[in-house]
Chain A
């Protein structure tokens, strides 16, 4: 009997663990107005997306910033050389970097990564293709 109760407790704990207690639930997608805000970003081109999403942490000049922790500079960043890395970062997130795969279309991801790779002292001119983004989305 004792063992049964432990098992029940652990199962319940796991079930509870699935319920995140975040402030606001995301609204279902709607073709009409949304009081809770659309999880999709309005901006479509790379520059607008950078200015309205990435700049929140990496700063408008892409120089990053620091406090108790730090936001890496995207300016002159060697890690952007292979496009798969920034594509994966934007789609899936890592560490403090949130995942934006659910909030951006493949075209938006391609546009914003291409923009960052060709600005702020980065000159990786091979544009990110939709196929590349699609592949990352599918392998997630």
Chain B
């Protein structure tokens, strides 16, 4: 192919994509590109390019979480007049961090004063950034926010079932190695008994046996047994030493029936799930770092402590009314040509908003999931000193569900804050319905079943229940498949002069990346309308 032919083809394809984008929206364009082998992995396509002059157009952006910040930032960079309106007295929305000295008041009126030492913190909302969330990574890089590894899989962390193993927590390395070993042994047996002859060729069976022996850490008889071979996977009962120290000893594997009944095997699937694959990161110093950095450059166009009470539109523009969030008084109006609304759907559902009946129905259809996180400060990092757990997550079937250890400051003496609860979904309501003080108590009580040191080392704690957060009713939109089919497009389309954005308007509900991708998609479509007019 000559270079001019290549150019022609490229141009044609580009025209085709542009046409699809205009007709069916950015997502359809992406799908078409994927079908032709162009885009891959993440849908983030690099810094957004809003070309063409907006000719003095003004956009009101509601909500200064990720979607609002990105919308305001990129629209202003493209030459729009922008006003950013936020309920809280800070930007970042759910991407927040709780530190010592912070005073938290929830919807129940309960006030907590965080007693953490300097440098210690809790991320009550999002707390990890997958490597494939390229939009987030790009903004973090552009705003100079440092990342550090988030330990998703820690082989020495615990998996705990209150009713099995006498309530004694098991090490993840043992659970994983033993499950893999037992399954390999069973499958090898099946091969040896010629039971796979129908489905696997003889030649493949030989290779499969080799793989099972290696993958499952089986002995020469294809059995998974106590000994050095299995100990190389699950860890040693008596570890390797030097000089005249005792010889290493491999421990007894956990029986398959106990692995199954206790459900501890399920801990393996977390780190194998795409959204949690390694490498995965956290911002150094807390999750609020990136939104704070973006918010700083938008300070001159941001109004904080503003509770939106109505959003009206006609063919000429949008009028937003808000009151002082603290007093509920002092109503003010702002007018703009367009509005990007990133308010959580349950909040928007309680505001007078002038949109089509179909959009209104969608806004009222989606509830948000329950989630509870509790941070606990201890006098010393006993999980490292005594239990040799450095970062990562222990799993339990107790209501607290997870204990996550700090992924920074490893091996340092002194105090530490760990995440003592991460309950999610309807099962979290049992904790969510307690006061913060009682949630902290429950976290200490339950967590001490995994770490008996809790009782003597505990100093103070804070707890955050997302249904009691004043600015949102729950932690993230819980879409069912039926709701997606019925309402998603109605909510995503530009409605007159209003377009929604946020993680709720993405396939990544509850993820910052979802908010970023949704914002970029919404403002791109809005910009297209503006410059085409």
Contact = CB atoms under 8 A, between A and B. Distances in A.
Same complex for A and B? Answer: yes
Given A37-B401, A39-B426, A5 B35 contact: yes
B508 A21 contact: yes
Contacts of B351: 69
Contacts of B509: 20-22
A20 B481 contact: yes
Contacts of A71: 107, 473
Interface string B19-63: 110011001111110011000000000000000000000000000
Contacts of A41: 426, 429-430
Interface residues of A, number: 57
B262 A32 contact: yes
A18 B484 contact: yes
Contacts of A51: 433
Given A33-B161, A35-B161, A36-B266, A98 B426 contact: yes
A30 interface: yes
Nearest to A30: B263
B495 interface: no
A88 interface: no
B97 interface: no
Contacts of B101: none
A42 B161 contact: no
Contacts of A21: 275, 506-511, 514
Interface of A: 2, 5-6, 8-10, 12-14, 16-24, 26-27, 30, 32-39, 41-43, 51-57, 59-60, 65-71, 93-100, 103
A5 B32 contact: yes
Nearest to A38: B427
Contacts of A103: 426
A56 B432 contact: yes
29 contacts: A6-B32, A8-B31, A8-B35, A9-B24, A9-B27, A9-B28, A9-B35, A10-B28, A16-B507, A17-B484, A20-B481, A21-B506, A21-B510, A23-B424, A33-B163, A33-B262, A33-B397, A35-B263, A35-B395, A36-B401, A37-B401, A38-B427, A51-B433, A59-B107, A59-B108, A67-B87, A68-B471, A96-B347, A99-B367
A52 B35 contact: no
A96 B349 contact: yes
Given A6-B23, A18-B484, A65 B433 contact: no
Nearest to B261: A32
B110 to A, nearest CB: 10
B234 interface: no
B429 A6 contact: no
A139 B370 CA distance: 26
Contacts of B485: 14, 17-18
A6 B108 contact: no
B173 interface: no
A140 to B, nearest CB: 11
Given A9-B32, A41-B430, A67-B471, A95 B350 contact: yes
Given A9-B27, A56-B432, A68-B471, 15 more contacts: A6-B28, A6-B32, A10-B31, A19-B507, A20-B478, A20-B479, A23-B476, A37-B401, A37-B427, A38-B427, A57-B468, A68-B308, A68-B325, A96-B346, A96-B350
